[in-house]
Amino acid sequence: MNQVNSKNFDVIIAGAGPAGATAAMQLGNSKLKVAVIEKEAFPRDKICGDALSADVLNQLKLIGSGILNEFKNFEHKQKIKNLSLIGSKENELKIELLDPEIEGATAKRIDFDTFLFNQLKKYSNIEVFENHKIIEVTTHENYIEITTSQNRFKGAFVLAADGANSVVKSKLVGKNFNPNNFSAGLRQYFENVEFPTTKETIELHFLKGTLPGYLWVFPLPNNQANVGIGMLSAQVRRKKINLKNHFSRLIKEHPQLKNRFKNAKPLESVKGFNLPLGNKKVKCSGNRFLLLGDAAHLIDPFSGEGIANAIRSGRVAADHVLQAFYKNRFDTDFNKAYDKEIYRRMWSELRVNSFLLRLMNYPRVFNFLLKKASNNDSIRMVLISSLQNVNMDKQLRKPSFYWKLLFG
Ligand SMILES: Cc1cc2nc3c(=O)[nH]c(=O)nc-3n(C[C@H](O)[C@H](O)[C@H](O)COP(=O)(O)OP(=O)(O)OC[C@H]3O[C@@H](n4cnc5c(N)ncnc54)[C@H](O)[C@@H]3O)c2cc1C
């Protein structure tokens, strides 16, 4: 390593995905000197389903600085107006997106993340370091130090937004892989997949042998599609499933899918990555650091959606950092307020969706619910809210809700 003296910053953000980029944007134009350290060079790929829910667009609106309007003109996206949940008995539940003002979309992460990353160029107090892989983190009395493949950085605060395999987290909190809190995910891009009706629908197929989890078919621009599968890691282990083989077999042989892939051409080999699920509260902060997005296990356990919460955590983290500098407090006790705020904003949805994840362990019950949802408003509401991040807390506290859920 060809090291020079440490570079000094107020805040060091590890990772320039949605969580890191958003936290940086929210600190843009502040008086703080911010470094964003990223191991790749943009544009870079990220294995994902590429679905941007209405909640993601809502988060963009809340970031401000006209970013939602810029996204409206972003050319690499496919508008999405419907979700289709398809059970193993071909029972299908179509859900229209709730807010006609804010549509959902799909966009390849290589394009979407570059769109976010490019926003950072607007701010003179943000310096970006690409091709810097973080390899070490050490906490000192008055600062925290990050060592990368190319340099050393000192700061008062580190925001760990370096994703599911966060090095910052493993150095500061430790490694803990519990297969009940992770899903295994695979993605393969295709061209020429057939869509039964409109390309404005994303499909989740809850198939036999795939629960808890689902196979997805998401349309993309240019006649392409993101097709993949996500399944609870504990189940993959317990049943000794070879997920790649299982996925390829479903596409080739499953009656619901095979005809639609007859003329489809794979554009890459099947690629995999882990999803850290938010079905358990974790420690999100400590002395001079906060964990964001996937590093903080904020992925929706039912839908596998993590981009919106990653952005949300970026916004919460930036607010907390401003408070910390104002009060000159970076210690563990002060940072507990961040954990509190993260779970105040996200736990009610994560909890409901953890329940839905557990329900998927009982395929018959899950299929029954899916079927019933077509004519039961309460069940529809649970599913819509879980997929669109609508706060259900008030509803869930009413006994009448459960009555309608079971007997309505
Ligand atoms: C198969 C799959 C399908 C998914 N589908 C969806 C979906 O359709 N919709 C949805 O909303 N969510 C989906 N998710 C979840 C979503 O991808 C994540 O929740 C989201 O990317 C989290 O954002 P983040 O910024 O926390 O982390 P990331 O997006 O992972 O960004 C982390 C950044 O840190 C960088 N980094 C990592 N290590 C280092 C290091 N050592 N040094 C420096 N930089 C580093 C990475 O290069 C990356 O740029 C899916 C995930 C998977 C695996």
What does pLDDT average to in each consecutive run of 10 residues of the chain (408 residues)? 76 98 96 98 98 92 91 94 79 63 86 98 97 98 96 98 98 94 98 88 90 95 97 96 97 94 97 97 98 98 95 98 98 98 95 86 78 70 62 53 49
Give the pLDDT of residue 399: 52
What's the CA-to-centroid distance between 232 and ligand 1, angstroms?
17
Structural domains in the chain plus CATH codes: 7-79+107-178+278-351 (3.50.50.60)
How far, in Å, CA of 245 to CA of 125, rounded? Answer: 48
Cα–ligand 1 centroid distance for 178 (angstroms): 19
Q: What is the pLDDT of residue 368?
A: 76
DSSP class of residue 258 equals G
Q: What is the pLDDT of residue 84?
A: 85
Contact of 260 with 191, CB cutoff 8 Å: no
Ligand 1: does its nearest atom lie under 6 Å from the Cβ of 161? Answer: yes
- Return left, alpha or beta for 222; rule: phi > 0 is left, psi -120 to 50 is alpha, else beta: left
Question: Which residue's alpha carbon is at the smallest distance from atom 36 of ligand 1?
Answer: 162
- The pLDDT value recorded for residue 406 is 46
Atom 3 in ligand 1: residue holding the nearest Cα: 48
pLDDT of residue 408: 46
What H or E segment, with its residue span, contains residue 27?
A: helix 18-27
- Asked if 209 contacts 217 with a C-beta cutoff of 8 angstroms, the reply is no
pLDDT value, residue 128: 98
Answer yes or no: is the C-beta of 273 below 6 A from any ligand 1 atom.
yes
Report pLDDT for 397.
Answer: 52
Q: Where are the beta strands (DSSP E) in 235-357?
A: 265-266, 271-276, 285-286, 289-291
Any atom of ligand 1 within 6 Å of the Cβ of 163: yes
In this prediction, residue 389 carries a pLDDT of 56
What pLDDT is recorded for position 400?
57
Measured in Å, residue 168 CA sits from the centre of ligand 1 at 15
Torsion of CA 108, 110, 114, 117, to 10 degrees: 110
Taking the CA of residue 162 as reference, the ligand 1 atom at the shortest distance is 34
Cα–Cα distances (Å) from 110 to 10, 49, 61, 113, in that order, read 29, 12, 21, 6
Neighbours of 5 (CB within 10 A): 8
- Ligand 1, residue 40: give the atom nearest the CA: 47
- Strand 271-276 to 144-148 pairing: unpaired
